[in-house]
């Protein structure tokens, strides 16, 4: 997504640049919410956090991301975002993932070996619980310490 500075360098006046930036955020937020809602409707949906062990600090960012994408290869759909912890500012990755069948936790642990993989299955698919999951996930994805958001190519319908 273009930054405010990018828009100003393109020649947009300040008000137009701000309005366009706000519209971009709104469109991104809308697409993200829809995608997460679709995944939360699936039977086998999980929240997964990939952490990085101290011995693996300093590797290139894309190395972690590539292994995460490899670990999620069997998923129907996923959304991954990088994040930095509030206290220690350590890089880690959060994702919402839906799978076509029950997740085999060992597969993800065997592929991603740069730290721990923490799983939380979405069990309660009632409207209130889904809304709470959606809000929690969405807020985590768009908070200030969040890095880029990555999406699977396949979409859940």
Residues β-bridged to residue 92: 83
Classify strands 77-84 and 117-121 as parallel, antiparallel or unpaired: unpaired
Model confidence at 55: pLDDT above 90: yes
CA angle 50, 47, 138 (to 5 degrees): 105
The answer to whether residue 143 scores a pLDDT higher than 70 is no
Contact 91, 145 (CB under 8 A): no
Residue owning tokens 């310490």: 145
Q: Mean pLDDT score of the chain, rounded to an integer? A: 83
User: What pLDDT, in 10s, does the model give residues 3-48?
Assistant: 888 899 999 999 999 999 889 888 887 888 888 888 888 889 998 9
Share of the chain above pLDDT 90, in %: 40
Confidence of residue 60 (pLDDT cuts 50, 70, 90): very high
What beta strand segments (E) does 16-153 contain? 44-50, 77-84, 91-99, 117-121, 149-151
User: What are the boundaries of each domain within the chain?
Assistant: 9-17+29-151
Structure tokens at 75: 């998923």
| Angstrom distance (rounded) from CA 99 to CA 94 | 16
Residue 100: how many other CB atoms lie within 10 Å: 11
* Second CATH level (architecture) for the domain 9-17+29-151: 2-Layer Sandwich (3.30)
Q: What angle do CA 51, 56, 147 make, to 5 degrees?
A: 50
Lowest mean pLDDT among 40-54, 97-111, 118-132: 118-132
């Amino acid at each position: 997504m273009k930054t405010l500075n990018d828009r100003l360098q393109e020649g947009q006046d300040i008000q137009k640049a701000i309005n366009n930036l706000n519209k971009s955020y709104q469109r991104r937020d809308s697409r993200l919410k829809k995608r997460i809602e679709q995944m939360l409707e699936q039977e086998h949906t999980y929240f997964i956090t990939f952490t990085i062990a101290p011995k693996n600090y300093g590797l290139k960012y894309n190395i972690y991301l590539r292994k995460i994408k490899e670990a999620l290869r069997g998923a129907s759909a996923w959304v991954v975002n990088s994040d930095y912890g509030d206290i220690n500012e350590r890089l880690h990755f959060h994702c919402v993932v839906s799978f076509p069948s029950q997740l085999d936790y060992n597969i993800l642990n065997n592929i991603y070996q740069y730290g721990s993989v923490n799983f939380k299955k979405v069990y309660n698919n009632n409207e209130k619980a889904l809304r709470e999951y959606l809000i929690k996930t969405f807020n985590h994805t768009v908070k200030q310490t969040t890095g880029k958001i990555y999406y699977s190519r396949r979409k859940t319908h």
